[in-house]
Amino acid sequence: MATVQRNLEWAKGRPGSGLLFLDRAGMAIYYGKLREARGFVQQAVGEAKSRRNSQRAANYLAGAANAEAMVGNLKEAKVLAQEALALDGTIDTQNPVATVFAQAGDTATVRKTIALLSKEFPQGTLIQNQRIPVLRSMIERDPAKAVEDLEPARPTELNALGPIYQRGLAYLRWGRGAEAAAEFQKVLAHRTIFPESLVHPLSQLGLARAYVLQGDTAKAREAYQDFLALWKDADPDVPVLQQAKAEYAKLN
């Protein structure tokens, strides 16, 4: 730990140090330490701004906004998303923050982003077959249709895992525990793909919820325990952690 801190101190003000700070933020987020992550994100943003790279700073903020939204901190997420757009209003920033607005229920903004992506990248395979389907799924109220929206992503979904995770969430909303469990298990089976991604711990929680839907209390309890053990040092006020603890308590 002392070595890591020395490396961070050494990196301050040096070219490219933003990526190091961002990596530390990602590690903190993975374990539910959002407060710690915010400090690293701000240092990364500060480094990008010092290099007059507004787009990179906006990208860092967009990533942080998505993490906040995924754990239920929607107020913080929207603030970061707006800060990102204020720095860079191009599609390069509108695209990543669209998932924040999707989780916040701002479907109009998401639809505008989808239309812009369709126009700007008509031949973009990942945009057309992965990103747009994910955004459509996130704002679709009918969970069955949300699952259908994600079908085009299947051939390339292991590139990012996001579509698999979203399909799992859609199946949870649909009340189909077995199918949801299969999707979350697929994410967990590919931990080496974006190993610091928040979808990994949240898929562990999703798996617990899927087992509850199936009525398998023993497996649900074990899955909750695995998630809570991973997040044992997480910030206690993170909404998704509070929800997990309450759900787990009902099983005992």
Q: Distance between CA atoms of 105 and 99, rounded to whole angstroms? A: 10
CATH class of this structure's domain 1-106: mainly alpha
Integer CA distances (angstroms), 99 to 5, 6, 38, 56, 113, in order: 32, 35, 19, 18, 10
In Å, how far from its chain's centre is CA 210? 19
Residue with the two structure tokens 């057309």: 128
Q: Measuring CA to CA, which residue among 123, 135, 136 is closest to residue 95?
A: 135
CATH of span 121-252: 1.25.40.10
All residues at 6 or more sequence positions from 210 whose CB lies less than 8 Å from its CB, including other chains: 168, 171, 172, 177, 178, 180, 181, 184
Cβ atoms of 9 and 21 within 8 Å: the answer is no
pLDDT the model gives residue 36: 97
Q: What is the pLDDT along the chain (252 residues), one digit of tens a residue?
A: 433 444 445 445 555 578 899 999 999 999 999 999 999 999 999 999 999 999 999 999 999 999 999 999 999 999 999 999 999 999 999 999 999 999 999 999 999 999 999 999 999 999 999 999 999 999 999 999 999 999 999 999 998 899 999 999 999 999 999 999 999 999 999 999 989 999 999 999 999 999 999 999 999 999 999 999 999 999 999 999 999 999 999 998
pLDDT the model gives residue 12: 53
Integer CA distances (angstroms), 245 to 76, 182, 185, 198, in order: 22, 23, 21, 18
Q: Measuring CA to CA, which residue among 125, 67, 56 is closest to residue 99?
A: 67
Domain limits, the chain: 1-106, 121-252
Q: Residue by residue, what is the 3-state secondary structure of 142-198?
A: CHHHHHHHCHHHHHHHHHCCHHHHHHHHHHHHHCCHHHHHHHHHHHHCCCCCCCCCC
pTM of the model: 0.91
Q: What is the DSSP string of 42-71?
A: HHHHHHHHHTT-HHHHHHHHHHHHHHHHHT
Cβ atoms of 150 and 163 within 8 Å: the answer is yes
- The answer to whether 1-106 and 121-252 have equal CATH topology is yes
